[in-house]
């Protein structure tokens, strides 16, 4: 295959970036998208040019690191992670435009790599169970209805890649945060901290500068793990309940 690449090149978050055009004429249709970028970098290194910086790790669709905006869509034309996208998806002679995630909360580190530690800080704000649950009990000792267990597992599939933010016109992180809230709010182990959890995680999300959700469904459409926006509705209910509870406690204590 012969392809033309328009790749965003930027030295750092405080420098001006631009697209640069590269041509490859020895691309196998069986290559993954990241393998194709490896070939590009090998060619650049041989020419004495600086290789393109991009994020990658497991290359198995598990870690969520391979965050690339390809031809106007997060992770490319298929609803999958970039590392699971193969060059047979594209046509011989096609021009492919590659950009980093575009969001204020994901500042560019270099070229196609962005800083997504804002997601880590949201998770650290409350996406865990800190109460002492004792030893590991037998699974059958804590009965969980199958529907609830399935919903929790579906939410837990979120890999934090950030495609939902990249797809949203407002750069909202609501799908990511709601998945992390839901997976614990649905299970018995997450109940003791459910109110504090959603309050802290939403507050941290706002502090990071993510936009508001306007229900365009773009996040769900582009999520490689198929996380549903029903999680956003659940998080809104959790948050409203937590805020009302906090208000009642303050009122009963003589607050304003």
Supply the pLDDT for residue 254. 58
C-alpha span between 108 and 106 (Å, rounded)? 6
CATH superfamily label, 117-132+143-252:
Alpha-helical ferredoxin (1.10.1060.10)
Residue 149 pLDDT more than 60? yes
Is the pLDDT at 232 greater than 70? The verdict is yes
Residue 32 forms beta bridges with which residues? 86
pLDDT for residue 247 = 61
Mean of the per-residue pLDDT values of the chain: 94
Strands (E), the chain: 3-9, 18-24, 69-70, 73-74, 95-99, 108-110, 113-114
> Rounded to two decimals, what is the model's pTM?
0.91
Instruction: Give mean pLDDT, residues 109-130.
Output: 96
Structure tokens at 92: 């011989």
Q: How confident is the model at residue 250 (pLDDT cuts 50, 70, 90)?
A: low
Residue bearing the bigger pLDDT, 38 or 249: 38
Q: Is the per-residue pLDDT at 71 higher than 80?
A: yes
What are the residue ranges spanned by the domains of the chain? 3-38+48-110, 117-132+143-252
pLDDT of residue 228: 97
Query: Is the predicted pLDDT of residue 251 greater than 80, yes or no?
Result: no
| pLDDT higher than 80, residue 40 | yes
What's the confidence (pLDDT) of residue 141?
74
CATH number of the structural domain 3-38+48-110 = 3.10.20.30
CB 52 within 8 A of CB 17: no
Chain position carrying tokens 């919903």: 151
Q: How many Å is the Cα radius of gyration of the chain?
A: 21
Q: Which helix (H) or strand (E) holds 63?
A: none
């Amino acid at each position: 295959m012969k392809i033309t690449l328009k790749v965003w090149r930027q030295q750092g978050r405080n420098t001006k970036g631009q697209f640069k055009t590269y041509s490859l004429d020895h691309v196998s249709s069986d290559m993954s998208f990241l393998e194709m970028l490896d070939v590009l970098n090998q060619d650049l290194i041989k020419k004495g040019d600086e290789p393109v910086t991009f994020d990658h790790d497991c290359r198995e669709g598990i870690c969520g690191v391979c965050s690339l905006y390809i031809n106007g869509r997060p992770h490319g034309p298929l609803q999958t992670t970039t590392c699971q996208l193969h060059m047979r998806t594209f046509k011989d002679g096609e021009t492919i435009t590659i950009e980093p995630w575009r969001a204020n909360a994901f500042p560019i580190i270099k070229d196609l790599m962005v800083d997504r530690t804002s997601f880590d800080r949201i998770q650290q704000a409350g996406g865990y169970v800190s109460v002492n649950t004792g030893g590991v009990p037998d699974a059958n000792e804590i009965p969980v209805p199958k529907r609830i267990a399935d919903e929790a597992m579906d939410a837990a599939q979120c890999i934090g890649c950030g495609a939902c933010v990249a797809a949203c016109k407002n750069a909202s992180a609501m799908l990511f945060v709601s998945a992390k809230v839901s997976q614990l709010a649905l299970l018995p182990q997450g109940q003791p901290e459910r109110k504090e959890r959603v309050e802290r995680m939403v507050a941290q999300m706002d502090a990071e500068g993510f936009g508001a959700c306007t229900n365009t469904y773009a996040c769900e459409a582009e999520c490689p793990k198929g996380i549903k926006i029903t999680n956003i509705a659940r998080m809104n209910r959790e948050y409203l309940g937590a805020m009302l509870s906090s208000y009642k406690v303050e009122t009963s204590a003589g607050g304003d």
